[in-house]
């Protein structure tokens, strides 16, 4: 089964409110602790989007049976997650022993008029609270908004204020374009420099950082504690696409060893597949559990 790498981006652009021969890692790297402490390991449900859209209940049951305790949502629309009303969806999560600390939801400049956030954003935040979210994370920046990075930072601060009043926090998830320069400055730096660390966090997608030829450590040093979430998917150095954790060339252990990032949540995601999506996220989970963090 093959899904084009850009499919997630195309989805986000059109959504009003929207996730082993070449491995360079050693056996020691994947040895892991004998008695690991509980960790916030989750899976971005974009990884199994087709399964979720066909059968949300059955797919969440399978995800839970794999050993996942947390999921990250996406695709919230009109009071529903995957077509399931918010209250019912919350019960579906709880019934499978799952929590959803974070979910993706698009926020654009169209959601900000005269210094006020749109009712659509506020409704999304209300329903996020109902399903137990602690974070509302913007997964992407629309093409037309990239020329106004400081304005977007202002909007994210405003969204952060709204979420803070609801005992939640707002965040932003990167792809690779944020590392390109807009008005002479990398967009990622513009966002980090112009958002309030008390209001806005960042979900670093480690695959896209690698894809953009960046070193996560450099960003951790310059912006300590700003990255509470990691998207954990590996990088195939031959095909230059995402692969299951442990089957690519990203040294996750080195990244996790750094205490500067502030990472608390480690979220598996797949965008391209070598096997079925459900098989892929289970392999990723098993390999991720072997790491020390």
Q: Please give the residue range of the domain that contains residue 275.
A: 7-289
CATH number of 18's domain? 3.20.20.150
Beta pairing, strands 229-232 & 200-205: parallel
Q: How many independent structural domains does the chain possess?
A: 1
pTM: 0.88
Residue 1 included in any domain: no
Q: What is the 3-state secondary structure (H, E, C) of the chain?
A: CCCCCCHHHHHHHHCCCCCCCCCCCCCCCCCCCCCCCCCEEEEEHHHHHHHHHHCHHHHHHHHHHHCCCEEEECCCECCEECCEEHHHHHHHHHHCCCEEEEEECCCCHHHEECCEECHHHHHHHHHHHHCCCCEEEECCCCHHHCCCHHHHHHHHHHHHHHHHHCCCEEEEECCCHHHCEECCEEHHHHHHHHCCCCCEEEEEEHHHHHHCCCCHHHHHHHCCCCCCEEEECEECCCCCCEECCCCCCCCHHHHHHCCCCCCCEEEECCCCCCCCHHHHHHHHHHHHHCCCC
Residue 113 included in any domain: yes
Residue 275 included in any domain: yes
Dihedral-angle region of residue 86 (phi above 0 means left; psi in -120 to 50 means alpha; beta otherwise): alpha
Residue 284, exposed/middle/buried by CB under 10 A (0-12, 13-18, 19+)? buried
Residue 169 included in any domain: yes
Residue 282 included in any domain: yes
pLDDT in tens, the chain (293 residues): 444 455 565 655 555 444 333 333 334 444 444 555 668 999 999 999 999 999 999 999 999 999 999 999 998 999 999 999 999 999 999 999 999 999 999 999 999 999 999 999 999 999 999 999 999 999 999 999 999 999 999 999 999 999 999 999 999 999 999 999 998 999 999 999 999 999 999 999 999 999 999 999 999 999 999 999 999 999 999 999 999 999 999 999 999 999 999 999 999 999 999 999 999 999 999 999 999 99
């Amino acid at each position: 089964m093959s899904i084009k790498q850009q499919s997630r981006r195309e989805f986000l652009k059109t959504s009003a409110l929207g996730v082993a021969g070449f491995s360079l890692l050693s056996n020691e790297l994947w040895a892991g602790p004998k008695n690991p402490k509980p960790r916030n390991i989750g899976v971005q449900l974009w990884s199994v989007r087709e399964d979720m859209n066909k059968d949300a209940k059955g797919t969440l049951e399978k995800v839970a049976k794999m050993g996942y305790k947390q999921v990250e949502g996406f695709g919230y629309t009109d009071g529903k997650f995957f077509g399931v009303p918010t209250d019912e969806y919350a019960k579906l999560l709880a019934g499978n022993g799952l929590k959803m600390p974070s979910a993706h939801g698009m926020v654009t400049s169209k959601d900000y008029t005269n210094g006020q956030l749109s009712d659509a954003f506020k409704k999304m935040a209300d329903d996020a609270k109902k399903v137990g979210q602690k974070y509302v994370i913007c997964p992407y920046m629309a093409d037309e908004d990239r020329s106004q990075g400081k304005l977007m930072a202002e909007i994210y601060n405003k969204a952060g204020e709204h979420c803070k009043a609801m005992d939640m926090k707002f965040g932003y998830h990167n792809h690779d374009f944020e590392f390109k320069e807009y008005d002479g400055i990398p967009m990622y730096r513009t966002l980090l420099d112009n958002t309030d660390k008390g209001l806005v966090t960042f979900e670093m997608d480690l695959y896209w950082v690698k894809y953009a030829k960046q070193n996560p450590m450099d960003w951790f040093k310059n912006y300590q504690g700003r990255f509470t979430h990691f998207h954990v998917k590996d990088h195939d150095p031959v095909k230059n696409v995402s692969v299951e954790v442990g089957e690519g060339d990203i040294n996750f252990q080195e990244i996790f060893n750094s205490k500067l990032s502030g990472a608390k949540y480690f979220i598996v995601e797949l965008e391209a597949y070598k096997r079925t999506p459900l098989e892929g996220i289970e392999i990723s989970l098993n390999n991720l559990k072997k790491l020390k963090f």
